[in-house]
A and B are shown apart, each in its own frame.
Chain A
Amino acid sequence: MKKLMLGNEAVARGLYEAGCSFVSSYPGTPSTEITEYAAKYKEIYAEWAPNEKVALETAFGASLAGKRSFCGMKHVGVNVAADPLFTVAYTGVNGGLIIGVADDPGMHSSQNEQDSRHYAIASKIPMLEPSDSAESIAFVKEAFEISEKFDTPVFLKMCTRVAHSQSVIEECERADFAQKEYVKDGAKYIMMPGNAKKRHPIVEERTLALTDYAEIAFFNRVEDGKDNTVGIITSSTSYQYVKEVCGDKYPVLKLGMINPLPVNKIKDFANSVEKVIVVEELDGIIETHCKNIGVQVCGKELFGLIGEFSQNIVAEKLGAEVPCGKALEENIPMRPPVMCAGCPHRGLFYTLKKNKLTVLGDIGCYTLGAVAPLNAIDTTICMGASVSSLHGFNKANEGATDGKTVAVIGDSTFMHSGVTGLINIAYNDSNSTVIILDNSITGMTGHQQNPTTGYNLKGDPASKINLEALCRSVGINSVRVVDPYNLAECDAVIKEELAKAEPSVIISRRPCALLKYVKHAGPIKTNTDKCVGCKMCMQIGCPAVSMENGKVKIDNTLCTGCGVCSQMCKFDVFESVKGDK
């Protein structure tokens, strides 16, 4: 039966149908749903690891044990997993191993626009790249076959538009995959110099064999066109835009495997047309390969290196007709994402701003503390960077900034890679103050469990890390817990901890307001007669609080009754809610 299926769900379906039985991943948009859907199959063991490096090493262990295994992450996650990646490329696999990576051209939810195809080339690992949900299923199955036949991990590369688009698929039965026997083989699996030197030539031979396979494999196909003045080489979502614009006008070489790329297939295609145009998002990977094998193509000089494409962009570049609509000549205010009403981060960030602190930030919902009106963050780099860069910032300033600088990091991000930075703070005697924003969930990616929440991916009770004890055990003696809904308490504790001549951790603890189990007080009541229109309550940037005719107005559909606004008011406009002041 035909079904509409999200690209990421289709990857999970492919894993199921291919007989995969082991998944270890770290969440990251746009890759998260692969693992969430995989966890719904009882035949697949699925887990969230604390970070991508652990996830890949875990999945490698399962492959070593002989099972078909998968590890999923977003593009920047590969940076974290790169250490095992380059060496697992040498050892190869036992059971098939797929590394799923989702790029984010256009940066819908990411801090950079890196092109993960470079990793496939650099690590010498083959990479398949589906262009819709049906291909996502088919390519997962093919990736396992390649993994086992060529003794290599295989990348499956998604992008936002393939991962988060639903298209039509047909489901199949699950294939039986018998767990392979593990046989001790030091020459293959112990990568010390003597063995690794022997493995490297095997890796190079493997790439040559894979290149031969790329010449004949079904996933690299030529689609005929009527007009051979132009031939287009493309892949992934770019293929869809090309077909949308050109239909069957020009011949198209649609590449499903992006590393290694075929040689003769590309040369033959180029010889069949007058001019070759390469359409690929971000960097010129296919283009560079073509030029390296002596095929003249036009690519990045036409399309550029930045952002995602669309059919109109492709139409314009190929000289086709570009539709246009009527824009309103009006200054339309932007609608940026904001911290939700009732978000526990709001009160904490207001306190940081009020104290005029330098705030080294991290990756999560709380990055929104950087936007107006809070404007309370100075940096955002990558997972865990807040803690380590705080240490460097304070050390470099030789004590001058210790009392007015903090790091902010979420519970999941702290477990991912913040704790190592905290160990550095303790070990190298840094008088730094780290604030852990513990909202008891991985929020930004849509509520995933993590080692601090007490539940695992399948929803079963799990070991729960005690953050206070963890911080103390690495050498932080001053660990305090505050309720971010209580502004006076936050203000007092932050001042006290910054004044101390020792490293400290403040845990700002309150579950995410969107968690189903969180009970809200309900919309706050106001006595607008008392409102003088001073707009103090507006300084916290709550979407439920606005001004109407010079008086405060509460949006009752949004307000959770957290009471942070009432603590800003000097005129008793807000009715007291439990827990405020």
Chain B
Amino acid sequence: MQTKNIMIVGVGGQGTLLASKLLGKLLLGKGYDVKVSEVHGMSQRGGSVVTYVRYGDKVYSPVIDKGEADVIVSFEMLEAARWAEYLKKDGVIITNTQQVNPMPVITGAQEYPQNLENKLKEKGINLDALDALSLAEKAGSSKAVNIVLMGRLSKQFDFTEEEWLAAIEQSVPPKFLELNKKAFALGRDYEV
């Protein structure tokens, strides 16, 4: 099969790394060749962060380039807009509608762009937007945004719910398992 590309984008500190870890485990378990790539260091200090997950029969490049992503999972609205160019034709952006102001907006040097959801849709981009923060809080913790989004992402795959839950079980501490299962279900079953 042709290599599939999933990008996970967000703001440093939002929990994007756990999401890629979970995906990597799931895909390796399904027998695919997998590469997961991230950048550490400077980008973690509240900066824009991106993780690439690629899988298929044989994966070469560890990164995803413009026009290549089958799915972009975005933890934040502005980041969805920033990385939209990486989406392939017929790809889908799953995004949390949460807004986190970057420093140029905080200092007043720039404004946070308005109506990004509509602007992306007007571009002809297949956008699946949800308030993952509220759903995570409903599940019991604002930190479960990543698992809510994984629940949403799971609808893009043929894998069974059991396979996803097993990967979650391997990736989160036991005491948070029930909370994360709930967060996964809320993301998966959310109706627009």
Contact = CB atoms under 8 A, between A and B. Distances in A.
Given A108-B39, A109-B41, A337 B81 contact: no
A323 B66 contact: yes
A108 B41 contact: yes
B190 interface: no
Query: Size range of the interface on B?
Result: 35 or more
B173 interface: no
B45 A339 contact: yes
B88 interface: yes
A252 to B, nearest CB: 11
Interface in A331-350: 331-340
A493 interface: no
B12 interface: yes
B62 A167 contact: yes
B192 interface: no
B82 interface: yes
Interface in A505-547: 535, 538, 541, 543, 545-547
A237 interface: yes
A372 B47 contact: no
A333 B106 CA distance: 11
Interface stretch (B97-105, B149-157, B160-168): B97-105
Contacts of B123: 326, 328
Nearest to A535: B108
B103 A335 contact: yes
Interface string B33-77: 111111111111111100000000001111101111100000000
Nearest to B109: A372
Q: Interface of chain B, helix or strand or loop or mixed?
A: mixed
B25 interface: yes
B120 interface: yes
B40 A240 contact: no
B113 A330 contact: yes
A310 B67 CA distance: 13
B35 A166 contact: yes
A161 B63 contact: yes
B92 interface: no
B172 interface: no
A340 B42 contact: no
A330 B45 contact: no
B46 A543 contact: yes
Contacts of A335: 11, 46-48, 78-79, 82, 102-103
B18 interface: no
A273 interface: no
Contacts of A547: 108
A132 B59 CA distance: 11
A399 interface: no
Given A331-B113, A365-B45, A538-B108, A168 B65 contact: no
A445 B82 CA distance: 26
A445 B45 CA distance: 11
B81 A444 contact: no
Given A324-B66, A328-B84, A372-B107, A165 B45 contact: no
A311 interface: yes
Contacts of B28: 2-4, 168
Nearest to B35: A167
Contacts of A168: 28, 33-34
Q: Interface of chain A, helix or strand or loop or mixed?
A: loop
B87 A330 contact: no
A322 B28 CA distance: 28
A112 to B, nearest CB: 14
Nearest to A108: B39
B85 A338 contact: no
A323 B65 contact: yes
Contact of B36 (A166, A241, A365, A557): A166
A538 B63 contact: no
Nearest to B37: A165
A337 B86 contact: no
Given A168-B34, A328-B123, A29 B66 contact: no
A330 B81 contact: yes
A373 interface: yes
B112 interface: yes
A328 B24 CA distance: 30
Q: Which of A336, A365, A368 has the most CB of B within 10 A?
A: A336
A311 B42 contact: no
Contact of A243 (B37, B47, B60, B68): B60
Q: Which of A243, A323, A333, A335 has the most CB of B within 10 A?
A: A335
B137 to A, nearest CB: 11
A324 B88 CA distance: 7
Interface string A424-456: 000000000000000000001110000000000
A161 B36 CA distance: 10
Contacts of B110: 331, 333
B35 A108 contact: no
Given A167-B34, A328-B81, A338-B45, A311 B25 contact: no
A244 interface: yes
Contact of B101 (A334, A373, A446, A546): A546
A332 B84 CA distance: 11
A194 interface: no
A325 interface: yes
Interface string A236-250: 010011011000000
Interface string A372-397: 11000000000000000000000000
A37 to B, nearest CB: 13
Given A4-B25, A323-B68, A338-B103, A30 B45 contact: no
Interface in A42-96: none
Contact of A166 (B11, B24, B61, B101): B24
A325 B85 contact: yes
A24 interface: no
Contact of A240 (B12, B62, B104): B62
A504 interface: no
Interface of B: 11-12, 24-25, 28, 33-48, 59-63, 65-69, 78-79, 81-82, 84-89, 101-113, 116, 119-120, 123-125, 142
Q: Which 3 A-B pairs have the closest CB atoms?
A: A323-B67, A109-B41, A337-B45
Given A240-B62, A372-B109, 6 more contacts: A310-B63, A323-B88, A337-B45, A337-B46, A446-B40, A546-B106
